[in-house]
Amino acid sequence: MLQIRRDLVDAIWAHARRDHPDEACGVVAGPEPAGPPERHIPMDNAERSPTFYRFDSMEQLKVWREMDANDEVPAVIYHSHTATEAYPSRTDVSFASEPDAHYVLVSTRVPENTEFRSFRIVDGEITEEPVEIVESYMFTHTGADDVPDRAAERD
Amino acid sequence: MAVTVSIPTILRTHTGGEKSVQAAGSTVLEVIEDLEAKHGGLKERLVKDEKLHRFVNVYVNDEDVRFAGGLEASVADGDNLTILPAVAGGMR
């Protein structure tokens, strides 16, 4: 399940609507190892295309280094589809490279659409997951220091 | 020539979970060949038809090697080589 704060959802929608008809893309960083999503980072779509997106490579390096330095991970990787539904395309699946991220899709095909969907994409398999939009992460951890170090167990 | 190579999450299965490994070489290709010798399977994830895979970004320090000679880009002792899969997709 993806639990995400309403202000982050609103920020993703604002970005998607601003860039329509081009696809919008970005990241919401969260503390290692698994979130919750905290810090919205709208990215440039280097392709500036209504049918394709790609993070600008230099911006990606800068943002990934920042996350590394902050002990953050890309908890959410989002993009918009501007003429099709909010579901991962074959292209999305073939490029999905963060097995621990929530891949969020929104569709701006219809202006009143509010479909905000989240998927795990691992080894070419798409698994949709429920999305819970919350006002705050009141009962969840708020910083990396509060999260037990599960990386050691995982490795 | 020793360089430090940052390995992205998705390729860490090839490095036993290590985020960062040491390798040697004076060009990006030589570093990748050395990585392949130590951590088999990495090269085919990075190189296709003797070119850098279109959806893999490789940086020497702060420079995207795509704009600096690709696989022939030179690497010096002490450099950092960062591998990041491009984040990309599309509607089709």
Residue listed under structure tokens 């290709």: B29
**C-alpha distances in Å from residue A51, one per residue of A18, A57, A83, A127, A153:** 16, 19, 8, 22, 40
Give the Cβ contact number of residue A1 at 10 Å.
9
Scanning B19-58 for CB atoms below 8 A from A yields 55, 57
CATH code, A2-135: 3.40.140.10
CATH number at residue B79: 3.10.20.30
Distance (Å) from the alpha carbon of B82 to chain A's nearest alpha carbon: 9
* Cα–Cα distance list, A107 to A75, A98, B21, B34, B46 (Å): 20, 21, 40, 44, 32
Identity of the residue in A58, A91, A99 whose CB atom sits nearest the CB atom of B90 = A91
Residue B68 lies in a domain: yes
Question: Which of A142 and A120 is assigned the larger pLDDT?
Answer: A120
Give the CA distances from residue B23 to residues A50, B18, B34, B44, in Å, rounded to whole numbers and listed in that order: 40, 13, 6, 17
Question: Is B46 a member of any domain?
Answer: yes
Grade residue A112 by pLDDT with cuts at 50, 70 and 90: confident
Cα dist. A88→A13, A16, A56, B17, B45 in Å?
A: 17, 16, 20, 28, 22
Residue-averaged pLDDT of chain A: 89
Contact B88/A at CB under 8 A: yes
User: Which residues on A lie below 8 Å from B9 (Cβ)?
Assistant: 97-100
Average pLDDT over residues A98-123: 92
Distance of alpha carbon A34 from alpha carbon A74, whole angstroms: 9
Closest residue in A to B66 (Cα) is: A57
Could you tell me the residue ranges of all domains in chain A?
Answer: 2-135
Of A53, A91, A30, A39, residue with least CA distance to B87: A53
Q: Which one of A22, A64, A82, A105 makes the best mutation probe of the B interface by having the most chain B beta carbons within 10 Å?
A: A64
Residue B90 lies in a domain: no
Q: B4-23 pLDDT, tens per residue?
A: 999 998 899 999 999 999 99
pLDDT of residue A54: 94
Share of chain B above pLDDT 90, in %: 84
Token pair belonging to B41: 């399977």
Judge residue A37's burial from the number of C-beta atoms within 10 Å of its C-beta, 0-12 exposed, 13-18 middle, 19 or more buried.
buried
Percentage of residues in chain B having pLDDT higher than 70 = 98
pLDDT at A87 over 90: yes
Residue B91 lies in a domain: no
- Among residues A93, A120, A125, the alpha carbon closest in space to that of A35 is found at A120
In a domain, B92, yes or no: no
Q: Give the pLDDT band of residue B28 (cuts 50, 70, 90).
A: very high
From A8-12, A131-135, B40-44, B88-92, the region with the lowest mean pLDDT: B88-92
Distance separating alpha carbons of residues A139 and A107, to the nearest angstrom: 30
Residues A19-49: tens digit of each pLDDT? 999 999 999 999 988 879 999 999 999 999 9
Which residue reads 């891949």 in tokens? A103
Q: How confident is the model at residue A151 (pLDDT cuts 50, 70, 90)?
A: very low
A53 reaches B (C-beta below 8 A): yes
Residue A26's Cβ-count burial label (10 Å; 0-12, 13-18, 19+) is buried
pLDDT, tens digit, 9 for 90 and up, residues B36-56: 999 999 999 999 988 999 889
Tell me the C-alpha distance between A13 and A78, whole Å.
Answer: 10
pLDDT of residue A139: 61
A136-145, B3-12, B72-81: lowest mean pLDDT where? A136-145
The count of structural domains within chain B is 1
Domain residue limits at B17: 2-85
Partners of A60 on chain B (C-beta within 8 Å) are 57, 84, 86-87
